[in-house]
Structure 1
Amino acid sequence: MKFIHTSDWHIGRQLHNQSLLDDQRFVLNQIVELAVLHDVDALIVAGDIYDRSIPPASAVALLDEVVNRVVNELKIPIIMIAGNHDGHERLGFASRQMIDSGLHIVGPLTKTVTSIELKGKQGSAMFYGLPYADPATVRHVLDCEVSTHEAAMDKLLEQVHEHDSNGLPKVVISHCFLDGGSESESERPLSIGGADKISPKLFTPFNYTALGHLHGPQYKGSDHVRYSGSMLKYSFSEQHQNKSVTLVELDSEGKAHFELLPLSAMRDVRIIEGKLAELLKIGKTDVNREDYLMVRLSDKTAILDAMGKLRSVYPNVLHLERTGLMSDNGKVELSRDHIKKGEMDMFSDFFTQVSGDAMTEAQQQAMTAAIDELHKLERTS
């Protein structure tokens, strides 16, 4: 049995108000191509299919496009579970009617854990879909007393342990936060104060655990308890992550063997730093200047329309930080001479950028007199 484990598609997501739909389509096409190239028996999506519980129509259309290609045209079954970003009921609509087509959607949590037997070319396996569910939901659905995410997951996994798989390997699909996992800024916290953390030991008895929620590919507790990571970089904190999907193959004894299949983005997400003039010069020959960028400017002087100047070279600058100005906070003595000098320097820089010429001596004297007069008024007010 061979399948691709992926998660956290977040279809419909924006990065600093920039739509990523075209970027998502680009990578989803790669995932489909990898499924064909490696002749897999199934595609697993471990939650956060959409970025919002009520996704925009364009996001729904993209998912429909991908699912139709994989399930109807390529005849590859898909199993997807709801994550904490998804609207469970909306995602699970008509899921029972779609099972015969090869599309298995586990939306809301039900009293009985969903078990799905898939037959591969070289063998079969039993898959158990556990959608994201907080302790309150587990208490309500299963009518039990649990107060933590770990206790809730332990209760759900009792059914997986007890279920008779007729000797087939057991693969658990879950969307949760394992203790010790490496986080990034784009993941929505599941709870406050660490109460969402679950011990990886709960999942080690199974042949493979396909996890979603954390955006960096990683494993915890054992190498067969794995996060595939998100398919794209969804925050600048992820700039150094290498995105991939996980190819999993269960041998005749049920042991999982896996390989990370790299994904390439249409545009990278990265941070660049330096002075404005240097960055503009570098940008003219930067073959990746259309990447999504956060720029940290080290200039310590005022700059007129810094974002406009940057976007003339780097069209997809999404965020700008003036680290040069911030670095001196608290270091300047608050004397009147220092304040006047700072005000004069900033106005001088502004004047030069607007007019293209430096201030004349007469203009400097006039401006100094104006600043002095303002400070006199400030002292008497």
Structure 2
Amino acid sequence: MKFIHTSDWHIGRQFHNVSLLEDQRHVLQQVVAYIKAEEVDALVIAGDIYDRAVPPASAVELLDEIMQTVCIDLGVPIILIPGNHDSAERVGFAAKLMKASGLHIMGNLSDIYEPVVLDAKGCSVAFYGIPYCEPLQVKDNFNQDVKSYDAAHTFLVNEIKDVMSDKHVNVLLSHCFIDGASESDSERPLQIGGADRVSYEPCLDFAYVALGHLHSPQYKGAEHIRYSGSLMKYSFSEQHQKKGVTLVEVNQSGLVAQTHLPLRPLRDMRILEGELDTLLTQGQVDPHYEDYLLVRLTDKHAILDPMSKLRDVYPNVLHLEKPGMLDTKATELQRASLKHSEFDMFQDFYTQIAGENMSDEQKKLVSGLIDRLTQ
């Protein structure tokens, strides 16, 4: 049996006030293409389907479109759990009715005892799901004195292991933060101070563990305990990550193979660094000029309206940093504040911005203005 493991779609996300919906549709269509090409038997989504608990209508429409294609048009079942960005109640609406269409939503903690069992190609696989939950929810639902994320997650995993059967190949879905795994800037912390970390050891007994929450494709503890990573880059800290989905193949004896299938973004997310003139020249011939960019200018002198100039060649510059200029200004202003008068400070500022000295008439005008303000 083959299934695709994916997570952290974050449909409806905005980045620097720019909607990523078109970019998300582009990569989701590639996921559908992989489902067809690899002839998979299921699609597994390990949480954070939406970017927020109450998603915009356009995000709901896109998810509906993808699920219609996968479940109805292709006849491939989807198994999903909600993540910390999702509202479990909203994602789980009409879950029992949707099972008949092949959409299996494991959004309730009581669902941990009831796996989705799929039989295909001589293999029987039981998919167990742990939706994102906090320790207090586990304490209230199971009357257990658990105070940490690790204790809560370990309890839930052990509950599943107590009921799972050797007749099936057992797969676990969980939306959590495995201790020691690599994080990115775009992930919302589950808890401040690292209290959200959980241990991987309780998960070792499963044939495969499909994790969600962390955006970098990786495994932790053992190769079969794996994050597929997010569909696309959601922060500039992820610029070097290779986004994709994981193709998992199992037989009745257990895991056979796991393969990273790459996803090509409509617009990549990159960091460019250099002097303004160099970047402007480079942009004239850059085939990927429409990528989302963070630009770090290394010019030491002041530049008037650099963002506008950059967007003439790179229309999707989303953030601009000028570390060299900021450091120089900070140093000069600090020295001026200690040694110079208000007039001297303004004169230095004018020279830096205009690139020329003030005229006698300008000096007289500024001096008179400062005198009136300080009287």
Contact 1:82 1:108 in 2 (8 A): no
**2:312 is matched with which residue?**
312
Kindly state the Cα deviation for residue 159 of structure 1 after the two structures are TM-superposed: 2.1
Contact 1:149 1:197 in 2 (8 A): yes
Kindly state the Cα deviation for residue 331 of structure 1 after the two structures are TM-superposed: 3.2
Contact 2:113 2:163 in 1 (8 A): no
**1:355 is matched with which residue?**
none
Could you state the TM-score of these two structures normalised by the residue count of structure 2? 0.93
Cα 1:105–1:370, aligned 2, differ >3 Å: closer, same or farther? same
SS at match of 2:214: coil
Q: Which amino acid aligns with 1:367?
A: Q
Alpha-carbon distance between aligned partners in 1 of 2:249 and 2:25, rounded to the nearest angstrom: 26
Q: Give unpaired runs (5+ residues) of structure 1.
A: 353-358
Q: Deviations over 1:98-152 (max 9, x none)?
A: 1121110112322753311011224121000110001011111112110001110
**2:362 is matched with which residue?**
367
Kindly state the Cα deviation for residue 202 of structure 1 after the two structures are TM-superposed: 1.6
Q: Deviations over 1:333-369 (max 9, x none)?
A: 23545986764454346447xxxxxx6x7x5333344
Q: Which amino acid aligns with 1:12?
A: G
The Cα RMSD (Å) is: 2.0
Q: Deviations over 1:241-294 (max 9, x none)?
A: 110111111133113421101111000001111222221111111111100011
Kindly state the Cα deviation for residue 320 of structure 1 after the two structures are TM-superposed: 1.1
Q: Which amino acid aligns with 1:20?
A: L
Alpha-carbon distance between aligned partners in 1 of 2:275 and 2:39, rounded to the nearest angstrom: 49
**2:350 is matched with which residue?**
347
Alpha-carbon distance between aligned partners in 1 of 2:148 and 2:302, rounded to the nearest angstrom: 51
Alpha-carbon distance between aligned partners in 2 of 1:253 and 1:338, rounded to the nearest angstrom: 81
SS at match of 2:223: coil
Could you state the TM-score of these two structures normalised by the residue count of structure 1? 0.92
Q: Give unpaired runs (5+ residues) of structure 2.
A: none
Which aligned pairs between 1:1-381 and structure 2 lie closer than 5 A?
1-110=1-110, 112-328=112-328, 330-332=330-332, 333-334=335-336, 335-336=338-339, 343-344=346-347, 346-348=349-351, 350-351=353-354, 364-373=359-368, 381=375
SS at match of 1:193: helix
Q: Which amino acid aligns with 2:7?
A: S
Cα 1:339–1:220, aligned 2, differ >3 Å: closer, same or farther? farther
Alpha-carbon distance between aligned partners in 1 of 2:89 and 2:104, rounded to the nearest angstrom: 14
Cα 1:302–1:329, aligned 2, differ >3 Å: closer, same or farther? closer
Kindly state the Cα deviation for residue 165 of structure 1 after the two structures are TM-superposed: 2.6
**1:356 is matched with which residue?**
none
Contact 2:154 2:199 in 1 (8 A): no
Q: Which amino acid aligns with 2:350?
A: F
Kindly state the Cα deviation for residue 171 of structure 1 after the two structures are TM-superposed: 0.3
Q: Give the percent of matched residue pairs that are identical in Structure 1 and Structure 2.
A: 50
Cα 1:376–1:338, aligned 2, differ >3 Å: closer, same or farther? closer
Alpha-carbon distance between aligned partners in 2 of 1:79 and 1:279, rounded to the nearest angstrom: 46
Alpha-carbon distance between aligned partners in 2 of 1:301 and 1:122, rounded to the nearest angstrom: 69
Kindly state the Cα deviation for residue 325 of structure 1 after the two structures are TM-superposed: 1.8
Cα 1:338–1:69, aligned 2, differ >3 Å: closer, same or farther? farther
Q: Which amino acid aligns with 1:171?
A: V
Alpha-carbon distance between aligned partners in 1 of 2:219 and 2:166, rounded to the nearest angstrom: 28
Contact 1:207 1:256 in 2 (8 A): no
Contact 1:302 1:346 in 2 (8 A): no
